Amino acid sequence: MFELDDLSVTRDGREILHVGRLSLGTEGVTAVLGHNGSGKSTLMALLARQIRPDAGRIALEGRALDGYRQRDLARRVSFLPQRLPPVAGLNMRDLVGLGRFAWRGALGRMGARDHAVIAQAMLDTGCEALADHLVDTASGGERQRAWIAMLLAQEAPALLLDEPTAALDLAHAYEVMALLHRLSRVAKRRVVVILHDVNLAARYADRIVALKQGHVTFDGPPRAFLDPEVLRSLYGIEMTILPHPDGHPQAAVA
């Protein structure tokens, strides 16, 4: 889906991201991991065209990302930023409805299908009971789920999510990841998701890409990632891998 070629981003005279050749969105779920400040959000902002690279190229489906009209891009790529902006006066349903903007007709009116997609997205993320609540007074996790619902309502084949589970309780974090995994299977969506939880990533991702100081230092399947040596070199701490009765090994701080 995305093809990156010799990308570089420099801020304040420092190269904060350098990526050689990399394809992203080729697997169902790709998790991007790495220490704070490793360049994850920068990488995702490039994919979502929120920022432009200082050097290098990004192509989406064989065409330069730069060349897409905004609406065409929104029909292909949806993006959940790490920092969610305030949305004064909107209730949860209104927010989710914003996800339909790229699909509305000339008059901008929503039809029966739009309403059905919105309702389903709220159901999938467990915010249907909160539909009439104001987004800005909802809890952090409720807000985050409403934003994820908005992303789902956009119905783009590529979903980019920057730490979508950061504010979620354990159950909702697993539910959201299970949902993204399901979407990648049932609806053939391509999900690229930034996470900090190594075990959550290993359980639901098909591929893990890890960044360290702005460089890709690991790219492979979860089983190869859950390795004490890989984790030590990435995070600089000792971890052990524990077998788990359901077949998903778990990393734990040693």
Which of ligand ATP, Mg ion, none does residue 36 bind to, with CB < 5 to 8 Å depending on kind? Answer: ligand ATP
Report residue 1 CA to chain centroid gap: 15
- Sign of the four-CA dihedral 138, 140, 141, 143: positive
Contact call for residues 181 and 204 (beta carbons, < 8 A): yes
Smallest separation (angstroms) from Mg ion to the CB of 107? 38
41: contact with Mg ion by CB under 5 A: yes
184: contact with Mg ion by CB under 5 A: no
Smallest separation (angstroms) from Mg ion to the CB of 216? 16
CB nearer to ligand ATP: give 41 or 91: 41
Instruction: Give the Cα separation of 189 and 214 in Å (integer).
Output: 27
CB nearer to Mg ion: give 78 or 91: 78
CB nearer to ligand ATP: give 5 or 15: 15
3-state secondary structure of 242: strand
3-state secondary structure of 100: coil
Instruction: Give the Cα separation of 144 and 81 in Å (integer).
Output: 10
CB nearer to ligand ATP: give 214 or 222: 214
Q: Give me the amino acid identity at 109.
A: R
Compose the 63-82 pattern: x for residues touching Mg ion by CB under 5 A, - for all others: -------------------x
Instruction: Give the Cα separation of 56 and 155 in Å (integer).
Output: 29
In the chain, what is the straight-line distance between the N-terminal and C-terminal CA atoms, in Å? 38
CB nearer to Mg ion: give 149 or 194: 194
Residue 120, CB-side half-sphere exposure with 13 Å CA sphere: 15
Neighbours of 202 (CB within 10 A): 22
Q: Which stretch binds Mg ion (CB under 5 A): 35-43, 108-116, 142-150, 200-208?
A: 35-43
What strand order describes the sheet that includes 63-64? Answer: 14-24, 2-11, 55-60, 63-64
Smallest separation (angstroms) from ligand ATP to the CB of 193? 13
CB nearer to ligand ATP: give 12 or 132: 12
Q: Give me the amino acid identity at 6.
A: D
Chain residues in the site for ligand ATP (CB under 6 A): 11-12, 16, 34, 36-42, 82
Closest-by-Cβ residue to ligand ATP is: 41
Smallest separation (angstroms) from ligand ATP to the CB of 59? 21
Q: Which stretch binds Mg ion (CB under 5 A): 39-47, 136-144, 220-228, 240-248?
A: 39-47
- Binding residues for Mg ion, rule: CB under 5 A, are 40-41, 82
